[in-house]
Amino acid sequence: MRRDYTLYLFAALGSFLIAYIVVPIAVIFLKQAFDPEMLFKTLHDPNVRRAVGNSLLTATMTTLVAVILGVPLGYVLARREFRWKSLVQALVDVPIVIPHSVVGIMLLVTFSRSILDSYTGIIAAMLFVSAPFVVNASRDGFLAVDEKLEAVARTLGASPWRAFISVSLPMAFPSIASGVIMTWARAISEVGAILVVAYYPKTAQILILEYFNNYGLRASRPIAVIMMALSLGIFVLLRWLVGRKNA
């Protein structure tokens, strides 16, 4: 039997993409390791600590809002057929294809001074670009749950809300949790829309650009390393927690 080299070819091609992701991450950490003085100076910079806190706070608040609004929408899209459903599903995905600077302009034109340079503006920008992840993940999770299980719960006397809480939500949780993680990750990585809507209060993403423009690569690199370490650490921790719950 002839050996099939297709899998090896695909693995080799895919390894280039993995390397393209891993190498820049490794390089920036290694280069910063040879400049500890700048890292310690950055860690003691109150502007940096405040900006990092703003990023973590607003990304977390954005995720909570996305869950409260997105999970119910995902359930409706999974369980009900209605007119214009395909249009609604398409609209959910629209933020993914809109350039983020355009998102900022749209939000600013729509809400004007009510979101300008405020935490509300940061969260509004993050929510617009990240909400599709939790909606789509929730929809896919609920689609994987057999509706007959909900019907059985209803025949046993459970209300629609109780059937949702006790049957559908727990079974769809792994998919929803993955969507929540991706929503948080997308929110904390947002720059373009925030730059237009809310330059102040500064998030770490904006501060990195400011330090790069004003002081150069050496000054902005430590903030980037700090944000990468925090973001990757939280991302891996959340993935691990979800994996343990699913095991």
CA triplet 3, 6, 10: central angle to 5 degrees?
A: 140
pLDDT score for 163: 80
Convert the pLDDT of each residue in 190-200 to its tens digit. Answer: 888 899 998 88
**What's the whole-number mean pLDDT along residues 109-117?**
86
C-alpha to C-alpha distance for 70 and 190, rounded to whole angstroms: 19
**What's the whole-number mean pLDDT along residues 67-88?**
89
Percent of the chain scoring above 70 in pLDDT:
96
Nearest to 176 by CA among 128, 137, 120: 137
pLDDT at residue 244 tops 80: no
Average pLDDT value over all residues in the chain = 87
**What's the whole-number mean pLDDT along residues 23-50?**
88
**pTM of the predicted protein model:** 0.85
Label residue 70 by pLDDT band (50, 70, 90).
very high
